[in-house]
Structures are given as C-alpha cells and as structure tokens.
Amino acid sequence: MKTHLSCPCGEAIQGKDEDDLVEKAQAHLSEVHPGREYDRDAILFMAY
C-alpha cells in the first residue's frame, strides 16, 4: 500500500491509506497548485 508522496514543490504528503493519500494530494493540488489536477491512478503512480 502506498501512503507517501513527495510533491515536486517540496511538500511531503502522507496518508493513513491510499484513499487518504489521494484525498490529501488532491487537496494540496487545489490549494497550492490551482489548475493542476491528477486522478487517483496518477497520484498512486507517483506515490511510494
């Protein structure tokens, strides 16, 4: 299960499970990188 993601901006995102990680990553994108959207598969591809 992937629960960590490092955004290229330097933000480390951690979730308790994959669903939580995807939710937190999408929230980070909308707050910090408006206009950039990634679907679940893309986020999990970049996660570890």
Tokens linked to 11:
């933000």
Nearest CA to 28 out of 2, 4, 7 is that of 7
Rounded to a whole number of angstroms, the distance between the first and last alpha carbons of the chain is 8
pLDDT at 41: 98
- Total of domains in the chain: 1
pLDDT at 20: 98
Mean pLDDT in order along the chain per 10 residues (48 residues): 96 98 98 96 97
**Which structural domain, as residue segments, surrounds residue 23?**
4-46
pLDDT at 11: 97
Collapsing DSSP to helix, strand or coil, 8 comes out as coil
* CB contact at 8 A, 21 and 15: yes
pLDDT at 32: 97
Cα atoms found within 13 Å of the Cα of residue 15, Cβ hemisphere only: 21
pLDDT at 19: 98
pLDDT at 7: 96
